[in-house]
Amino acid sequence: KQEVTQIPAALSVPEGENLVLNCSFTDSAIYNLQWFRQDPGKGLTSLLLIQSSQREQTSGRLNASLDKSSGRSTLYIAASQPGDSATYLCALTSGTYKYIFGTGTRLKVLA
Amino acid sequence: SAVISQKPSRDICQRGTSLTIQCQVDSQVTMMFWYRQQPGQSLTLIATANQGSEATYESGFVIDKFPISRPNLTFSTLTVSNLSPEDSSIYLCSAGGGQDEKLFFGSGTQLSVL
C-alpha cells in the first residue's frame, strides 16, 4: 500500500531564504506526482505536476524534482516571500486518478 | 486547465440536518471527485462522481451518508446527511480529464456541525 510522508510537518524561515520541502513515498510505481498549495480553510492550488518519465519541473521560483528509485520528490522554493506562507501538499497516483496525499508541510515565511 | 466554483464556502449546521454542496466546472471534464479534509489531516477521497450514474465510493464512505449527483459533465453535488459534529471538515470538489491526470480543486466548503 502506497504511503506518502512529508517532513518536516512545519517550517519557519526568514524572508529571502531558499528552502526545500520533502515528499517520500513507498511504492515507485507512480504515474505522476503533483505539488499543491493550500491556504488556511481553502481549496488546493496546483503548483507543479511531474510525470513519471520526468525528473523535474519548474515554474517561476518553484522547482520540483522526482526520483522514483529513491521514492522522493522535493519542492524547491527560491527567495521565499511572506506570500509563500501556506501548507504545501504532495500527492501521487499510480493511474486512474487514484491520488494519495501527504500530510503536508506548513510553511511560514517571516518578514 | 479548469476553474472550479464551489458553494457554499462555509456553513454552520445543526446536528441531524443535511448540507448540499455544489460544484461547477467551467469546461467539460472527464473526472470529478469529492474529498474530505478533517481538521489537521490530509485529504481523503470520498467518491468519484460519475455522469448519469451512481457514484463510486471509497472504502468507509456510503451513499446513504454522502449522496452524490452528477447530471452532466460540468456539475456535481455532494450532500452530507444526518450531520454530526464528526462531519465537521473541509469538503473539496476536484476535477480532471487530461492524459496527464492533472487535478484541479475548488475553493472548498468548510462545514461546522454544532
> Are A46 and B92 in contact (CB < 8 Å)?
no
**pLDDT of A61 above 90:** yes
Report, as an integer, the average pLDDT of B86-97.
94
Residue A26's SS3 state is coil
- Give residue B1's pLDDT: 75
The 8-class DSSP code of residue B86 comes to: G
- Give residue A50's pLDDT: 95
> Are A98 and B45 in contact (CB < 8 Å)?
yes
Using a CB–CB cutoff of 8 Å, tell me whether B103 touches chain A.
Answer: yes
Residue B63 is placed in which grid cell?
451513499
Residue A84 and residue A19: Cα distance in Å, rounded?
11
The 8-class DSSP code of residue B38 comes to: -
Q: Please state whether beta strands A86-93 and A105-110 pair in parallel, antiparallel, or not at all (unpaired).
A: antiparallel
Residue B85 and residue B111: Cα distance in Å, rounded?
10
- Give residue A73's pLDDT: 97
If one counts every other C-beta atom within 10 angstroms of the C-beta of residue A14, the result is: 9
- Give residue A7's pLDDT: 92
d(CA A84, nearest CA chain B) in Å: 18
Contacts of B24 (CB under 8 A, 6+ apart): B4, B5, B6, B74, B75
- Provide the strand spans (E) within A29-85: 32-38, 44-51, 56-59, 62-67, 72-77
Task: Provide the percentage of residues in chain A whose pLDDT is more than 90.
Answer: 87
Residues in A closer than 8 angstroms to B42, CB to CB, are 89, 101-104
Residue A12 and residue A108: Cα distance in Å, rounded?
5
- Give residue B85's pLDDT: 96
Residue of A nearest to B105 (CA): A44
> Are A32 and B100 in contact (CB < 8 Å)?
yes
What's the pLDDT band for A110 if we cut at 50, 70, 90?
very high
**pLDDT of A14 above 80:** yes
- Give residue B29's pLDDT: 83
Helix (H) or strand (E) holding B43: strand B43-49
What's the pLDDT band for A41 if we cut at 50, 70, 90?
confident
- Give residue A86's pLDDT: 97
Residue B6 and residue B103: Cα distance in Å, rounded?
15
Find, among A19, A4, A9, the residue nearest to A75 by Cα. Answer: A19
Task: Provide the percentage of residues in chain B whose pLDDT is more than 90.
Answer: 81
d(CA A94, nearest CA chain B) in Å: 10
Question: pLDDT tens digits for A78-91?
Answer: 999 999 999 999 99
**pLDDT of A68 above 90:** yes
Place of cell 443535511: B18
Question: pLDDT tens digits for B30-85?
Answer: 899 999 999 888 899 999 999 988 999 999 999 999 999 999 999 999 999 999 99
**Do the Cβ atoms of A75 and A92 come closer than 8 Å?**
no
- Give residue A62's pLDDT: 98
Query: Of B99 and A39, which is predicted with more confidence?
Result: A39
